[in-house]
Amino acid sequence: MTSTSTTLDDGSPVRVAEDEQLERGVLGTSDIVFMVLAVAAPLAVVVALMPIALAFGNGAGVPGAWLLGGIAMLLFAAGYVRLIPYVKNAGAFYAYISASFGKVVGLPSAYVATVSYLSLLMSTLAALAFFAGDLFALVTGVQTPWQLWAAIAIAAVAVLAYHRVTLVAKVLAVALVAELFMVMLLNIAIVIQKGLPAFNLGDFSPSTVFAPGLGIALIYAFNSMMGVEGTAIYQEEARNRKVTIPRATYIAVILASTLYAFTAWCLSTSIGSFDVAKVAAADPGHFVTARANDYLGAWSAHAFSVLVVTSAFAAVLGLFNNTARYVYALARDGVLPHRFAKTHPVYKSPHVAAVFLTIVVVIITAITAFAGFDPLLTISPMFIGVGSVGLMLLMAITALGIPIFFARRGEYGLATTLAPTIGGLTIVAATWLAVTNFTALTGVDSPMVNSLPWILAVVAVIGIAQAIWMRANRPQAYESIGASRVEGPIE
């Protein structure tokens, strides 16, 4: 059986069995960009989140808020991609934090990341089930239980995740292109019908962008771009990793931030800078479809309804893959049961982790169904807040850890020190805003829902305790936490 090596802190190699390896060199830049942006679900962001930001954020300054978020993400990315030659692990944030702050901090970050991705997966799955049932009723007039559509989605995602990652990339590419086409079609229609003079550059002035409500807008701006970690999650499966991953990271951040900023500007202009907040607040749920009806025609409402479902499915699929790879990475590093580290003999997918995750998702879905929770009003909000806060926190810790990592190597510079520090502090501020305005993130006032972020603290404590125990009782396994995976056979 062939092996590859794992490099520990002391530089010593540890053999990695062939049946625990992901498929190497199969994902190009475009594949990774599609997978990252699909997790962000651009159409769902535009239809569901952007109207709330316009209504309760800084109004006409929302386009500028998205640009600010994009700039902060680019500063973060400048340091993030510099770590790629040194840290090679499907755990991404987990491996990077382990390399920067040590394994006692790295392991709890892995658990927080896994729970966060799982939470976003469950939130998006619930929304998907609701919108799929709503679309089916619109087309056929037949009402169906949301659990049926959740079951269909889970089955489809499980089958796709079980097979080659390239199949997943193709499915996500088709879904993403369709939703981006629809968003840009609406933007172009607004530009043509309103005319360029209607677009007010004053919307990007400091007085407009830094108006009251900027904090709320920034929460949604960062929330829409958190999938950027996915570039590093797939680095073991990327072609020419040192080139592909940085390129995909920058493309994903620039494309997402400019798309959202331009779309917000178009939506604001379609109403008028002074009135957009009031109109969006009156009916945020139908704000975008109403604009589509006005500028594209009645057919567009049906198109948006279909594409919201495909967008949500693409996001569920992408989040499922991210979560499965965290389970796989933790098992390969000796933290979770070793069985979860096995990969498929033909597809090289983390199929055991995928099967395990499918069971977990089925159980959670069944519990919420038996509890009688509404998929859109209860299940989706109760999970989205946990996932969003968790990933924003990890992104901030990762960004602030990058200067520490390079300082230990005696390296200081714009990309390795200044840029990630500024980006990290900005993300810290956004995370604080998300925590202190948690009801704005979830959209509900339920004490149960808004106390769920404490789950992150609980799993973090469990991770710290396990890391300390492993250091004392299983030192070899402890040294594997966050270890880099190096291509090529052992000499």
Task: Write out pLDDT tens, residues 206-265.
Answer: 999 998 888 888 888 888 887 776 777 777 777 888 888 889 889 999 999 999 999 999
pLDDT at 5: 45
Task: Let me know: does 442 contact 224? Beta carbons within 8 Å.
Answer: no
Q: What percent of the chain has pLDDT over 70?
A: 91
pLDDT at 440: 75
Nearest CA-CA partner of 319 in 213, 458, 172: 172
pLDDT tops 80 at residue 16: no
Residues 34-76 have pLDDT tens digits of 878 877 788 888 988 899 889 888 999 999 999 999 999 999 9
Note the maximum CA span of the chain. Answer: 69
Instruction: Identify whether 275 is part of a domain.
Output: yes
Domain that holds residue 248: 3-481
Provide the whole-model pTM. Answer: 0.85
State both tokens at 282: 């009156």
CA gap 256, 36 in Å, rounded: 10
State both tokens at 368: 């919420």
Nearest CA-CA partner of 343 in 190, 473, 466, 236: 236
pLDDT at 10: 43
pLDDT tops 90 at residue 368: yes
CA gap 471, 473 in Å, rounded: 6
Instruction: Identify whether 486 is part of a domain.
Output: no
Amino acid letter, 432: W
pLDDT at 18: 57
Task: Let me know: does 108 contact 460? Beta carbons within 8 Å.
Answer: yes
Instruction: Identify whether 491 is part of a domain.
Output: no
Instruction: Identify whether 488 is part of a domain.
Output: no
CA gap 68, 52 in Å, rounded: 18
Residues 114-139 have pLDDT tens digits of 999 999 999 999 989 998 998 899 88
Number of domains comprising the chain: 1
Residue 138 is inside which H or E element, if any? helix 103-140
Nearest CA-CA partner of 274 in 231, 356, 211, 353: 211
pLDDT at 388: 87
* Three-state SS letters, 213-232: CHHHHHHHHHHCCHHHHHHH
Instruction: Identify whether 487 is part of a domain.
Output: no
CA gap 390, 456 in Å, rounded: 7
Task: Let me know: does 462 contact 108? Beta carbons within 8 Å.
Answer: yes
Instruction: Identify whether 340 is part of a domain.
Output: yes
pLDDT tops 60 at residue 6: no
State both tokens at 29: 């830049």
pLDDT at 433: 85
pLDDT at 489: 35
pLDDT band at 151 (very low <50, low <70, confident <90, very high): very high
CA gap 77, 197 in Å, rounded: 35
pLDDT band at 450 (very low <50, low <70, confident <90, very high): confident
SS3 state of residue 485: strand
CATH number at residue 77: 1.20.1740.10
Q: What percent of the chain has pLDDT over 90?
A: 44
Residue 17 is inside which H or E element, if any? strand 13-17
Mean per-residue pLDDT, 477-482: 86
Least confident piece of the model among 278-287, 403-412, 453-462? 278-287
CA gap 220, 124 in Å, rounded: 15
361: left (phi over 0), alpha (psi -120 to 50) or beta: alpha
Angle, helices 299-332/351-370, rounded to nearest 10 degrees:
120
Residues 290-338 have pLDDT tens digits of 999 999 998 888 888 888 888 888 889 889 988 998 898 888 888 989 8
Instruction: Identify whether 489 is part of a domain.
Output: no
Rounded to the nearest integer, the mean pLDDT of the chain is 86
Backbone angles phi, psi at 424, to 5 degrees: -65, -40
pLDDT at 320: 92
- CB under 8 Å to 51, separation ≥6 — which residues? 267, 280, 284, 285, 287, 288
pLDDT tops 50 at residue 9: no
pLDDT at 2: 45
Mean per-residue pLDDT, 257-278: 94
Amino acid letter, 166: T
pLDDT at 488: 39
pLDDT tops 60 at residue 90: no
Task: Let me know: does 111 contact 460? Beta carbons within 8 Å.
Answer: yes
Instruction: Identify whether 405 is part of a domain.
Output: yes
Q: What is the chain's Cα-based Rg?
A: 22
